[in-house]
Structure 1
């Protein structure tokens, strides 16, 4: 598997180098040189395959011979120990539940895969690495769980102070061991900016083997493509075209779906659904990309004012906005609209959506209303509603049941280090944390 930078200013690398380096030296993002098309026979029989079988075939095609097939199978089987069911919500509207993993969020797929892939590559090397990651909520907890107690790996997580839910913060700050949480006095965009600066700082990279676990790391995108194939396999029996609505912040999740489409998955349309941080919908609608400071919303994991996967999305379409528009439409919703959707769906069906899933639901409904298409619509539920329990309980006027793995966090002691929104402060911390 050869990968190139979206800025095209540095040589191609293999998968191992891309995974550990995270970010190319020219500040681009790694992309596969070739995205293979899976054979028609695979799609004809996909509904007879298990989640693990589907993921193995997709992973094998993407990675090629860089990792032996036996190891790919072992990694996939080790990662996918939980389901991702497609559940009916209402007529023609289904939800892909991606919250059945250990941290109850879709980030479990990418973080677990990345941790096991890195562990495979590190088996033959005697060096330590540091995972440096910014989170708006769920990435950090998934990465922390995925890498907990992994030999030779330290994890440093930056998260915005007072801008993640209480239970999300508990998941970040109660593990200890090789996991360190930095509470940044700023926004997620500040956290993300500082992480990117660290990867481009020669003094840091000369002394620390840094790697990223954000969606900027290509090993996060590979496993996120798996569940699009699996969702299609579950929906195939309905005999209609399939439309996915993806709650979007950094746009890694939808990018993985677009890669799946490039591999031949017959997805009719994607809806990029956002909250008030509507940079990508505006880009899709106007052709102008304009980053801006993020604003806080009840769907906080999508509070991103400068989506880091934007270069990958446009690279997939040769920077042709009209080609992109054939596959993706953009929608954005206010907190009031999001809350109203959570409430109305619960009253009508009894199904409880988290705020992010509700944004996806709204995008799907609006797309169907505008297009008039008769298709199977699937929106992604990226996190369990209990992770946003204060917001959801208030909306539906009932207490959401808290899963056991969250209950056990409530009384655990939090440990975090507060730092200012200043790259030099982060740099000083990293250099003294060796």
Structure 2
């Protein structure tokens, strides 16, 4: 299968080119030329399949033309070595717990899948070394750093905004060493993302080193997140609760909800979507007004969603030909302040004995506010609450335990490079490699 750019001026690319490049030469995001519908038989029997079996069928529809079946199956099964359960929180509202991977965040699946796919392409092409650039507002950096840790032929540079990720999140990518370099940028997430995008367009850098991105702009990072929603549907079907299925996703860079929309395009019977935002509500405002107006991000307690110009909105717009009416008929939005997020965490804990992280709290509240009486809602609980320990504990007025996997990261020594948000400084750092 070939991939085109959302800016429609770059040449078509094969999968290996799209994955290794990350961003298209015209600064657009790669999109598959077609989205294959899965057969009705697959959905008839989905509730009898394991997570890995379901994911392999979905992966084959995207990547089966480009990767041998045995290798693709190995990539999928290696990636999905942990559960993603659907749990009832209250009547007709379920959480999809996406935080049971190595770094306890939903991005583990996409990062691990991409690491294995990129390693396969490097081996097949005989490429000497690939340098992965990734901007993070929290969980992307930890998932990518740990997914690529120790992988031969790949170096990873994680750019993160100084003072704007939680201490536990920061420890997950600044204490690793080996092939992982953490860069602490004096700015916000959007500055980090701009540096990554500009690096791909710099001729000196592109001649000096082979660059790719592991943000959700990379097709190998965001597409595997579709696995989650097929798996959620299968679990609901086993419960007899799969009719009028609504998906609500806490959204920052909009990669996760874009993957869910792709799942629907493949035939998954999702009725509609809700994009839950914090104060960075650019897409929520677009859904209400039809005007897409990016702006600088502001810092919130749901920091992984602190994005003022979400990259993957370009994919959503392209998929629906920039038709606002069509997009808003499929997706609604809701946005919440820090105080509202704290209130939701406290209420859910007291009423349901369920501990939310700040991002999941946005999505849970959006379902409570927008779910119709005849609908069943699933919201993404995207990171373990312990990753935001102080924020969560102050909201619910109770202590939460830190899982051993997180505690181990906190014992490591911070190794990071401090840098301004000037591209010239970033370029100088990379040219010295």
Indicate the TM-score class for this superposition, using the shorter chain for normalisation: over 0.9
Structure 1 regions of 5+ residues with no counterpart? none
> Per-residue CA shift, 1:121-145, capped at 9, x if unaligned?
1113141010001000000000000
Would you say 1:134 and 2:135 are equivalent positions?
yes
Partner of 2:331: 328
Q: Secondary structure at the match of 1:296?
A: coil
Deviation at 1:411, TM superposition (A): 2.3
Partner of 2:191: 190
> Per-residue CA shift, 1:91-142, capped at 9, x if unaligned?
0110000000000000101000000001111113141010001000000000
Partner of 2:399: 399
Partner of 2:70: 70
Deviation at 1:416, TM superposition (A): 0.5
Would you say 1:53 and 2:56 are equivalent positions?
no
Deviation at 1:408, TM superposition (A): 1.2
Q: In 1, distance between residues paired with 2:265 and 2:327?
A: 12
Residues 126 and 309 of structure 1, relative CA distance in 2, 3 Å threshold: closer
Q: Secondary structure at the match of 1:409?
A: helix
Q: In 1, distance between residues paired with 2:408 and 2:151?
A: 22
Partner of 1:114: 114
Partner of 2:317: 314
Partner of 2:206: 205
Partner of 2:346: 343
Q: Secondary structure at the match of 2:248?
A: strand
Partner of 1:5: 5
Would you say 1:269 and 2:272 are equivalent positions?
yes
Q: TM-score with structure 2 length normalisation?
A: 0.98
Q: In 1, distance between residues paired with 2:220 and 2:127?
A: 21
> Is the 1:111–1:146 contact (alpha carbons within 8 Å) kept by the matching residues of 2?
yes
Q: Secondary structure at the match of 1:361?
A: helix
> Is the 1:160–1:185 contact (alpha carbons within 8 Å) kept by the matching residues of 2?
yes
Equivalent position to 2:357, from 351, 354, 358: 354
Q: In 2, distance between residues paired with 1:323 and 1:42?
A: 27
Partner of 1:223: 224
Q: In 2, distance between residues paired with 1:202 and 1:217?
A: 20
> Per-residue CA shift, 1:173-232, capped at 9, x if unaligned?
000000000000000000000110001111101111001000000001221000100001
1:360-375 mapped onto 2 (5 Å cutoff):
360-368=363-371, 372-375=372-375
Deviation at 1:172, TM superposition (A): 1.3
Partner of 1:381: 381
* Residues matched between the structures, number: 430
> Is the 1:235–1:376 contact (alpha carbons within 8 Å) kept by the matching residues of 2?
no
> Per-residue CA shift, 1:316-367, capped at 9, x if unaligned?
1111111111210011111111110000000111110000000001111111
Structure 2 regions of 5+ residues with no counterpart? none
Q: In 1, distance between residues paired with 2:316 and 2:65?
A: 26
Q: TM-score with structure 1 length normalisation?
A: 0.98
> Is the 1:248–1:273 contact (alpha carbons within 8 Å) kept by the matching residues of 2?
yes
CA RMSD of aligned residues (A): 0.8
Partner of 2:34: 34
Q: Secondary structure at the match of 1:211?
A: strand
> Per-residue CA shift, 1:22-76, capped at 9, x if unaligned?
0011111000000011111111111111000000001101113210111111000
> Is the 2:233–2:242 contact (alpha carbons within 8 Å) kept by the matching residues of 1?
no
Q: In 1, distance between residues paired with 2:260 and 2:165?
A: 26
Which consecutive segments of 4 or more residues in structure 1 shift more than 3 A? none
Would you say 1:298 and 2:283 are equivalent positions?
no
